[in-house]
Structure 1
Amino acid sequence: VVDNGSRDRTREVASSAGAIVIDQPERGYGAACLKGIEYLSQDPPDVLVFVDGDYSDYPEELDEVIAPIVAGEAELVIGSRILGGAPSDALMPQARFGNWLSCHLIRVLYGVRFTDLGPFRAITWSALERIGMADRNYGWTVEMQVKAAKLGIRSTEVPVKYRPRIGKSKVSGTVKGSVLAGHKILWTIFSQWKRAS
């Protein structure tokens, strides 16, 4: 568990459940993910799974998320909240629209079809190394998917359930957060496309 400045009992609860808790004082989703990758690089796993710790994802679906990798069918698996029929109170209208627009642009510019930029995902360590993740905040998920598309990394989606998170989202829960995230996601899509052309 990477704790990047939580003000609740994340550290205490995770530690008492047996998790290794890593501190990342820098705020930002990507910064937290990069810190976890840095820790795991000491003894890299074959497969790495990313899942949000805010109650919105269902970790018990882990087997379904990694199944295409285990079967040798994919190197990157996105848990799609859209395919899983996420309720409207869990995936807000601005998030749904942002997902649709981003996935449409990825299909048009890169020729790869996704339905979601969801956080619950699995990737092989070798594919992760080839991608070379760098984004430290809102662009993390889309960076992974766009770079995977550019590199020809075999990707697929599986339906996952989704529920309202505990607490207010710093991204989709505010107008400012939604605008900043939307800008960063679109910038990531187009900047990667420009580099490829």
Structure 2
Amino acid sequence: MDQVPPELDIVLPCLDEAQALPWVLERIPAGARAVVVDNGSRDGSPDVARAGGATVVTCDRRGYGAACHAGLEAAEAEFVAFCDCDASLDPADALRLVDLLRAGADLAVGRRVPAARGVWPLHARLANVELARRVRRRTGVGLRDVGPLRAARREPLLGLPIADRRSGYPVETVVRASEAGWRIEQVDVGYSPRAGRSKVTGTLHGTVQAVRDMSRVLRE
């Protein structure tokens, strides 16, 4: 008998997240499938992901966007969500985004709300405020955060011409969706301390590089 595809695939771009993966995979909601996209981990993350019941996809091209897109191409469900796998976001909140899609939205984005003081480094939070302002100006969509937790239907999302394969991928998703006339909505989601050290928001260099990638997308 053919296996019935899941209703929701949750794509989890992964680079050395063995410490956080068990918690994240335990939070995958019933009826959803975790698609962990390994982007060159050296800490055994793929083995941890498989042990936790995830489908593991290998993405040899480095970059957050490259990993996201590889996961999208590997997805089979009607709905696809993207979530960081560092335990800063609860993948179960993807169901709230799917509710928005069922109610008529074409793209749903989680607005990160820090669970405690100090969760979101000041330099990263200020950069996000400015980027969100630029996105609003470019698209006319009232987003307050272009966060890593977002969801859409798989087939329409595959049809968007998203070219960025670095940190600009989430911003370009919103830009292309807006250009396509999509209805874009946002809902608050909890944002907790991540497990381990961040490759982006935990370092000033990482934040600067992400801002450059996202700014390039907005200029184009």
Give the alignment's TM-score, normalised by structure 2: 0.78
1:26–1:120 CA distance, 2 compared to 1 (3 A) = same
Q: Identify the residue that residue 132 of structure 2 maps to in structure 1.
A: 103
Q: Does 1:76 align with 2:107?
A: yes
Q: Select which of 208, 214, 218 maps to 1:179.
A: 208
Q: How does 1:1-197 map to 2 (within 5 A)?
A: 1-40=36-75, 44-71=76-103, 73-81=104-112, 84-191=113-220
Which SS does the other structure have where 1:77 is aligned?
strand
Query: Which runs of 5 or more structure 2 residues have no equivalent in the other structure?
Result: 1-35
Which structure: greater helix fraction? 1
Q: Distance in 2 between matches of 1:94 and 1:65?
A: 27
User: Does the 8 Å contact 2:114/2:192 carry over to 1?
Assistant: no
Counterpart code for 1:58: D
Query: Which runs of 5 or more structure 1 residues have no equivalent in the other structure?
Result: 192-197
Q: CA deviation at 1:85?
A: 4.2
1:87–1:130 CA distance, 2 compared to 1 (3 A) = farther
User: Does the 8 Å contact 1:48/1:122 carry over to 2?
Assistant: yes
User: Does the 8 Å contact 2:72/2:154 carry over to 1?
Assistant: no
Partner deviation per Cα, 1:135-171 (whole Å, 9 max, x = no partner): 1111011111111122211100011011111111111
Q: Identify the residue that residue 195 of structure 1 maps to in structure 2.
A: none
Question: How many residues matched?
Answer: 185
Counterpart code for 1:30: G
1:98–1:86 CA distance, 2 compared to 1 (3 A) = farther
Q: CA deviation at 1:26?
A: 2.1
Q: Distance in 2 between matches of 1:18 and 1:85?
A: 29
Identity %: 37
Which 4+ residue blocks in structure 1 deviate beyond 2 angstroms? 84-90
Q: Distance in 2 between matches of 1:142 and 1:94?
A: 19
User: Does the 8 Å contact 1:127/1:153 carry over to 2?
Assistant: no
Give the alignment's TM-score, normalised by structure 1: 0.87
**More displaced 10-residue stretch of structure 1: 56-65 or 127-136:** 127-136
Q: Distance in 2 between matches of 1:95 and 1:146?
A: 21
Q: Distance in 1 between matches of 2:177 and 2:39?
A: 26
Which SS does the other structure have where 2:191 is aligned?
coil
User: Does the 8 Å contact 1:139/1:185 carry over to 2?
Assistant: yes
Aligned CA-pair RMSD:
1.5
Q: CA deviation at 1:86?
A: 4.6
Which structure: greater strand fraction? 2
Which SS does the other structure have where 2:96 is aligned?
helix
Q: Distance in 1 between matches of 2:73 and 2:115?
A: 32
